[in-house]
C-alpha cells in the first residue's frame, strides 16, 4: 500500500512537516513518496491509497500551487473515491487561518468521495505549525502519519 505526502513550501516549514508525516507513515508500514507539488502530476494521485497534502497558510487558504493540483484533479473525479485523505499547514501565527486552510484541502477530498480522519486530541483537523515545526509539532506530525497509515491498512486490507 502506498501513501503520497505532497506539499508546497517557499521557506521550508511545510516541507519539514511533510517529512515528519512521511516518517510516521513509514513507521506504520506503508510505502511513502514525499513530493513537492510541482513534481506531482495529476494522474499520480491515482497510484496512492492515501493522499496527504500540506500547504502554507496564505490569506487563510492553501497556496495557489496546491489549489491548481486540486482543480486539475477534476479530470479524475470519481476515481479517487474511497481513498484516505489528510491535510496539514504551517502558518504565521495563532488565529492566522490554519484551520480554514486545512479544511479547504479536506473539502476537496470530501468532494472526491475520499475518507478523512479527525483527531480528538490536539490538531482536530490535521497538524498545524506556527512557522517551523518545533519538537511537539514534529511529534504530532509523526503520529498523524501513523494514524493515517493505520486507517489505510484497515480500509485496504489485502
Ligand atoms: C503570500 C503569503 C500569505 C500569507 N498569509 C498568511 C495568513 O493568512 N496567515 C498566517 O498565519 N500566515 C500567513 N503567511 C505566513 C506563512 O503561512 C508562514 O510563514 C509559513 O510558515 C510559510 O510556510 P513555508 O515555509 O512552508 O513556505 C503568509 C505568507 C505569505 C508569503
Q: Which CATH class is domain 2-155?
A: alpha beta
Give the ligand 1 atom nearest the CA of 7.
26
What pLDDT is stored for residue 145 in this prediction?
98
With a 6 Å cutoff on the Cβ, whether 36 touches ligand 1 is no
For residue 15, the CA-to-ligand 1 centroid distance in Å is: 13
Instruction: List CB contacts of 149: < 8 A, sequence separation 6 or more.
Output: 3, 24, 25, 27, 28, 29, 30, 50
What pLDDT is stored for residue 18 in this prediction?
99
Burial pattern 65-78, b for ≥16 Cβ within 10 A else e, equals bbbebbeebeeeee
| Range list of H helices, the chain | 13-27, 64-72, 98-111, 135-155
pLDDT for 22-63, tens place per residue?
A: 999 999 999 999 999 999 999 999 999 999 999 999 999 999
Cell 485523505, residue located: 85
pLDDT for 96-105, tens place per residue?
A: 999 999 999 9
With a 6 Å cutoff on the Cβ, whether 82 touches ligand 1 is no
Give the domain ranges of the chain: 2-155
**DSSP assignment of 95-117:** TSSHHHHHHHHHHHHHHTT-EE-
Amino acid at each position: 500500500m502506498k501513501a503520497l505526502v505532497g506539499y508546497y513550501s517557499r521557506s521550508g516549514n511545510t516541507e519539514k512537516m511533510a517529512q515528519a508525516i512521511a516518517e510516521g507513515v513509514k513507521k506504520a508500514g506503508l510505502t511513502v513518496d514525499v513530493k513537492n507539488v510541482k513534481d506531482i502530476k495529476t494522474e499520480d494521485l491515482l497510484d496512492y491509497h492515501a493522499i496527504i497534502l500540506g500547504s502554507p497558510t496564505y490569506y487563510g487558504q492553501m497556496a495557489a500551487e496546491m489549489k491548481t493540483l486540486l482543480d486539475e484533479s477534476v479530470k479524475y473525479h470519481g476515481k479517487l473515491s474511497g481513498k484516505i485523505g489528510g491535510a496539514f499547514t504551517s502558518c504565521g501565527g495563532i488565529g492566522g487561518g490554519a484551520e480554514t486552510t486545512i479544511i479547504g484541502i479536506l473539502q476537496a477530498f470530501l468532494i472526491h468521495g475520499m475518507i478523512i480522519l479527525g483527531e480528538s486530541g490536539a490538531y482536530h483537523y490535521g497538524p498545524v505549525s506556527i512557522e517551523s515545526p518545533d519538537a511537539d509539532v514534529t511529534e504530532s506530525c509523526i503520529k498523524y502519519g501513523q494514524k493515517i497509515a493505520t486507517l489505510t491498512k484497515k480500509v485496504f486490507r489485502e
